[in-house]
Amino acid sequence: MTRRALSKQAFAGVWSNSCCGHPAPGEDVGEAVRRRASQELGMTLADVTCVLPDFRYRAVDADGTLENEICPVFTATGSADPRPSPDEVADWRWVPWQAFADLVATNPWAISPWAAEQTPLLVRRIHPGRRRPSRPPARRSP
């Protein structure tokens, strides 16, 4: 997960997915993912795979900025910790997938609107029979 830089025009300081591809005209989308991961996170990616080719979202930031984007979702692997650009990323954390999916299921307001919409789709794709997030054991009174 990354926390968007506070200087970002939209959704500044919001925790979200790792990075966004932003392909240039004529650029292959998978290559854009690799390029932006290098620019935003200082990472080289392997196993870049499109997992949600038709994903799109519409979201309005608190300042009224409207995003209405078509953005295929990719997964990838990296072999090192990120060295993020401070213009893009304020903070980052390695988070186990299930912990992230549980966070989204229980607190979708805590992350970017696009990640909140993508995650249930990814959960169904990765674990098709699963409908509910895992829950921590109930706390008992002392």
* 2-93: CATH superfamily: Nucleoside Triphosphate Pyrophosphohydrolase (3.90.79.10)
Q: Write down the domain spans for the chain.
A: 2-93
* Mean pLDDT, rounded, of the chain: 88
Contact 6, 13 (CB under 8 A): yes
How high is the pLDDT of residue 135? 47
Query: What span, in angstroms and rounded, lies between the C-alpha atoms of 103 and 111?
Result: 9
What's the rounded mean pLDDT across residues 112-138?
74
Indicate which residues carry an active-site annotation: 20, 69
Query: Which value, in Å, is the radius of gyration of the alpha carbons in the chain?
Result: 16
Indicate the pTM of the whole model.
Answer: 0.82
According to the model, what pLDDT value does residue 133 have? 47
For 61-78, what is each residue's pLDDT tens digit? 999 999 999 889 999 998
